Amino acid sequence: MDTPPSSQIPDEGDLPPEEIARHLHRAADWIRHYLETIEERAVLPAIEPGEFSAQLPEEAPVDGEPMDRILDDFARRVPPALTHWNHPSFHAWFSNTGSGPGIVAEMLTAALNNNAMVWQSGPASTEMEAVVCDWLRRMMGLPEGFFGQIQDTASIATIAALAAARQRATEGRVRTEGLRGLPLLRMYSSEEAHSSVEKAAILLGLGQDAVVKIEVDEAFRMRPDKLQEAIERDRRAGRLPMAVVATVGTTGTTSVDPVAAVATICEREGLWLHVDAAYGGAMAVVEEYRWVLDGCGRADSLVVNPHKWLFVPMDCSVFYCRDRQTLKEAFSLVPTYLMTPQDDRAYNLMDYGPALGRRFRSLKLWMVLRAYGRRGIAERIRRHVELARLLQDWIAAEREWEQMAPAPMSTVLFRHHPAGLDDEEGLRRHNEEILRAVNATGEVFLSHTIVRGRYALRLAIGNIRTQERHIRKAWRLLKEAAAERASSI
């Protein structure tokens, strides 16, 4: 038989493995240097929009460039134009960590390039995801019965939870017919809930108005009595209450909604209860702080972000769901090309969320949980809460500083309130200037929030490398900036 003619197409392929290893060694050396010298960098770059992109060519190169040149360019151009989340003085929003074990895992994840769409496409990654989600569930003291999986972000997990809630509330009609002919669906969250809840309502076709914002108490926690009233009001108006989103660790103040009381209402009213514990859930790893998840075992779903306060690099969001069947009914759609042999011992992760492709995210969670252990993680979180207490003590000891909200976790809200400056607008401007001044030093990065209409500085502690000296530095810079500005009032 004739052999078919061979093609003239050159076989370029990838870089040879030994060359890849050489660049990895270079990258590893750079990472080491980066972490060793991170405190010498500005947390927040002094850079204007467009300044970075102006350094890059308009088009991709026609011919490939040597990796050494690309790595040189990376080191010279990229880090100076970045905000350094791995800096121990990063205290804005919620600080997080790309920890050592997580960094190593990310490198291996890229090398494996696994895609756990179906069990067959990633046996170890599918099963490791189940195992580590269950490890974390036990570490946080949640009961059995939760099906765990990893999403990229809490926002996507909340969309998945509410899609399942919508599926259940409409007895599956929404899946085939959409929202046509259905009463207006309603969901409830506190006025302190994260914007991802409203975004989910928009994306699910319910509309932003479908989210009823429930009043909070003096500690910024959802008021169950107001929730009950809102549900009854909606039922009387012919609307269809569908779900409640309670928050453990709200973005503004880290308040914890009374989940047990909310769960009682949800059970009585037949509503799906989703708990957004994106930041605060981590605290339950510490034995004495388990209370933060009180009542969460009765929730239908819960999300916690290891990429926030559990030292796992972006992105890793663990999504637990008790009603696994409804979740599957909301999402499962199997095209012919993805039909794989059925085996009751296996399941396909693509059936439980919006995405088909799936990074091997469980590897970094596995490595982080193993490298620090439950005790090591608990000690680090406990330490962050202690540091936040220390800062609160310093604030309380100063006449002209005031705390703006209780701090049940590791995020503290406060402001400078000099004698003689009492109007809210003036106080806002004064504290805005303090924030701008301390952030401009490059030595720290804090953010702000609005608490009951009042401007507050916000210092979050959650990076694994943050020590007492970093909090002392932030406090010194804040006091210096305040003294400078107060003298001109």
Residues that bind ligand PLP (CB under 6 A): 94, 153-155, 194, 196, 247, 249-251, 276, 278-279, 305, 317
Token pair, residue 359, equals 């990074």
Residue with tokens 């970093």: 470
Q: Which is nearer to ligand PLP, 276 or 323 (CB)?
A: 276
Please report how close the Cβ of residue 454 comes to ligand PLP at its closest, in angstroms. 20
Burial of 219 (0-12, 13-18, 19+ CB in 10 A): exposed
Q: Which is nearer to ligand PLP, 318 or 391 (CB)?
A: 318
Q: Within 10 A of 6 (CB to CB), how many other CB atoms are there?
A: 6
Q: Which is nearer to ligand PLP, 224 or 249 (CB)?
A: 249
- Beta carbons of 161 and 394 less than 8 angstroms apart: no
Q: Which is nearer to ligand PLP, 347 or 445 (CB)?
A: 445
Please report how close the Cβ of residue 192 comes to ligand PLP at its closest, in angstroms. 9
Dihedral sign from CA coordinates of 258, 264, 267, 268:
negative
Q: Which is nearer to ligand PLP, 161 or 174 (CB)?
A: 161
Please report how close the Cβ of residue 291 comes to ligand PLP at its closest, in angstroms. 18
Q: Which is nearer to ligand PLP, 26 or 199 (CB)?
A: 199
Please report how close the Cβ of residue 195 comes to ligand PLP at its closest, in angstroms. 8
- Beta carbons of 324 and 351 less than 8 angstroms apart: no
Distance between CA atoms of 471 and 438, rounded to whole angstroms? 13
- Beta carbons of 459 and 305 less than 8 angstroms apart: no
Distance between CA atoms of 96 and 100, rounded to whole angstroms? 13
Amino acid at 373: G
Please report how close the Cβ of residue 275 comes to ligand PLP at its closest, in angstroms. 10
Burial of 453 (0-12, 13-18, 19+ CB in 10 A): exposed
Please report how close the Cβ of residue 217 comes to ligand PLP at its closest, in angstroms. 18
